[in-house]
Amino acid sequence: MLFLLLLIVPHKSTAALSHELSKFVNIFQIPSISPLPKNPSISEIPKVNLPPGIRRIFKRRPKLPKRHSPPPPSLSNAALYSNGAPPPPSPNSKAAPRPPPPTEIEGLKEVKQYFADFGYMNDSSNSLAHDYLDDETKLAIKTYQDFFNLNVTYELENMDNTFHQMSLPRCAVPDLNVTYELNSKTNTTVSWPQGIRWFLKDTRTKHLTYGFALENEVSSNVTKVFKDAFRHWSKALTELNLPQLNFSETDYDTSDIKIGFYNFGKLGVEEVVIGGTILGYENGSYGSPVVADILLDGTLLWVLPGSNFTWSWKYGEFDLETVAMHQIGHILGLDHSTNEESVMYPSIKKLNETKVELTDDDKESIRRVYSISSTTKPTNNNVSNNVSG
């Protein structure tokens, strides 16, 4: 199963906003939200299957490192060495001088976890346990800066642009490909490799259904947003002479794509998560998708098409169709784009940003995915983590 959208959101109470919100009929909150208990087991989550490999994405916003130079760590610190102790000198040879230990930066451990969540570091790396700026962390920083076209630097005083990018609202699907093995006995996986498709062999047309969780009591205006977003993607496939996908609404329980609004704050994530996408496959990560979930945070303020965008957006409202377009792109197998104008760009650069028209970059991405042979596996580098249960 595939995943998710991560955002920094300034929250306000509904009571404090009620007067102002009454003037904006196209801004809404979901009236009935399915609660997600804190640290839930799979069975405790209503109508949502969040596997262990996905739940780790629900993190608090990383605390940025404090900008000071602490004293260098002791050479005897076990975290600096792969075997837990300094390497012994070679016999019958003059011991070579040890290189200086990595710099310790308070709070860097939180930033490393951020990188691990989005595919820039291995989630099982020993480096995540300490605050040292080691080579693995430097590589993650460089890869992240390259992805977002930032200046490559490891000096904290010169990383303002990097920290700003990290603080932006963003999708929690990793920027680099990650695959988790959920259960080796049933051969079930969750993954983010490009090229996973809803088609088998040479099938040219497929019909998929989507449904909304009943407890959300979503209005027809909300369902229309998703209907239009699905239509945008379906139209793009047709115009590019690619296999055709048709979408129609049905009941939640029998649908291929399940859409629900949930209280992510109950997972202990506070203000960081607004939604996400989960894809489930059979027969391993190169099999055919069998179910998909789009999860959105129902406690946020969602804006419908036609809203008056002269409002200041100071309360953390987000354009629903923009988020829907992005998540459906992941359902279709698209990775994140480094093009800031793309629907599949991972970050929201400004809170009143809307992206509902596919760019040339988006169209080329969908062409690459659906033009390849159905027997060809993606060539992207994957980072694998076992979370069998």
For the annotated binding site for Zn(2+), the residues are 171, 326, 330, 336, 344
SS3 313: coil
Where do runs of H (alpha helix) occur along the chain?
14-21, 52-55, 108-117, 135-147, 160-167, 220-239, 320-331, 360-371
Tell me whether residue 241 is exposed, middle or buried, using C-beta atoms within 10 angstroms of its C-beta: 0 to 12, 13 to 18, 19 or more.
exposed
CA pair distance 114, 141, nearest whole angstrom:
11
Query: What's the Cα-to-Cα distance from 151 to each of 111, 148, 161, 194, rounded to whole Å?
Result: 18, 9, 8, 27
Query: Do the Cβ atoms of 256 and 386 come closer than 8 Å?
Result: no
CA pair distance 385, 53, nearest whole angstrom:
8
Query: What's the Cα-to-Cα distance from 321 to each of 58, 146, 305, 356, rounded to whole Å?
Result: 23, 29, 7, 7
Q: What are phi and psi of 25, to 5 degrees?
A: -70, -15
Alpha carbons within 13 angstroms on the beta-carbon side of residue 292 total 27
Residue set of the binding site for Ca(2+): 256, 293, 297
CA pair distance 380, 176, nearest whole angstrom:
9
CA 146 vs. chain centroid, Å, equals 18
Residue set of the binding site: 171, 256, 293, 297, 326, 330, 336, 344
**Token code pair at residue 164:** 């700003």
Return the H-helix or E-strand segment holding 257.
strand 257-263
Say which amino acid occupies 92: N
**Token code pair at residue 183:** 């259960």
CA pair distance 185, 221, nearest whole angstrom:
43
